[in-house]
Structure 1
Amino acid sequence: MDFTPLTDTLSSKSYDKISDICDELMLKFAAEGIPFQDEWPYAIHLLGHIYVNDINSARFLWKSIPSAVKENQPEVVAAWRIGQKLWTRDYAGVHEAIRGFDWSQETRVLVAAFSELYTKRMFQLLLSAYSTISIQDTAHFLGMNEDDAANYVMQQGWIVDPASGMLTVKKQLIVTEQKLDSSKLQRLTEYVFHLEH
């Protein structure tokens, strides 16, 4: 079996493409009648779906994995544990599942990249949902201890009140560019001209 497209994608750190490449390779091998179940990189495949936040596909893949693989490859079970925590919205549990397994060299970089991405997603969620939040809750969502969580958000401009243990969220300014479509401008001009005359 030729896993070159997958190894190339992992080497280039294009983690958002892993699930699609694995899906395509799996279909290709199945169509060619190549037995691949024992050698298939299920953990990486699951993590690829998890990385792009496609939990439904990860669930489907998990259900299709043979029982023998689940019993003999603890890394596959560990990868799915992350998916389960995402599915149940156990935000702190995601971080615990990531830290709770000694990942192989092949998956360690992918798991670390997902962990960083997930922390950024959680930060954006907190940013959009709160104007003030406790340091304890922030640490829970970000999967950090309270000191690390406070330092992380203060680097983003949040303000900490040590007396109350509360953080004031600093909303980020969103700058949007609007492109002026000349045909729309022409129609607007004609419409205004029509109203005036």
Structure 2
Amino acid sequence: ANAELGAVWSVGQRIWQRDFPGIYTTIGAHQWSETIQPIMEALRDATRRRAFGLVSQAYTSIVADDFAAFVGLPVEEAVKGALEQGWQADFSTRMVMPKKPGVLEASFNRFVPSSEPAPVPPIPNEQQLARLTDYVAFLEN
């Protein structure tokens, strides 16, 4: 049990360091008990969903090998998953071009569970200012 606790701590350290490839490697390197295995699988899947989302927001193109390491999949599977999301891939240059999420499409259907809440639409500046004024007036009284 102590060795497993140490392995859980190692995974936590990789998460803290935002070392996505390290998270997958550390999870895969340990033989987890029956109680911890589902948690680690869920953590790996959630990390992968987050990585897909981050890549879609931060990159216009990314090298397929780097993308695969970031999402913790072999290159072929990573590119296949990207194509399933409507992304593009250029096999001659080995680049993946993420599809930017639109206003109504803030997440990808395959990699984001339906239990997550829908994104909150932005509030107009005038409304924000009115709300802030109400808060300040309330606090002054």
**How does the TM-score come out when normalised to structure 2?**
0.72
Q: Kindly provide the amino acid, as one letter, of the partner of residue 62 in structure 2.
A: I
Aligned partner (choices 93, 111, 114) of residue 22 of structure 2: 93
Aligned partner (choices 80, 84, 106) of residue 151 of structure 1: 80
Q: Relative contact order, CA 8 A, sep 6+: which one is greater?
A: 2
Aligned to 1:162: 91
Matches within 5 A, 1:20-99: 73-99=2-28
Q: Aligned pairs, how many?
A: 111
Q: Kindly provide the amino acid, as one letter, of the partner of residue 79 in structure 2.
A: A
Query: Identity rate of aligned residues, in percent?
Result: 28
Instruction: Give 5+ residue unaligned stretches, structure 1.
Output: 1-71, 188-197
Cα distance per residue 1:71-109 (max 9 Å; x no partner)? x61110110111111222221000001101011001111
Q: Does 1:142 align with 2:75?
A: no
Aligned partner (choices 98, 111, 114) of residue 43 of structure 2: 114
> Shift in Å at residue 168 of structure 1?
1.2
Between structure 1 and structure 2, the one with the greater Rg is: 1
**Runs (4+) off by over 2 Å:** 175-179
**How does the TM-score come out when normalised to structure 1?**
0.52
Give the distance between the partners of 1:73 and 1:109, measured in 2 at CA: 19
Give the distance between the partners of 2:60 and 2:122, measured in 1 at CA: 28
Higher helix share: 1
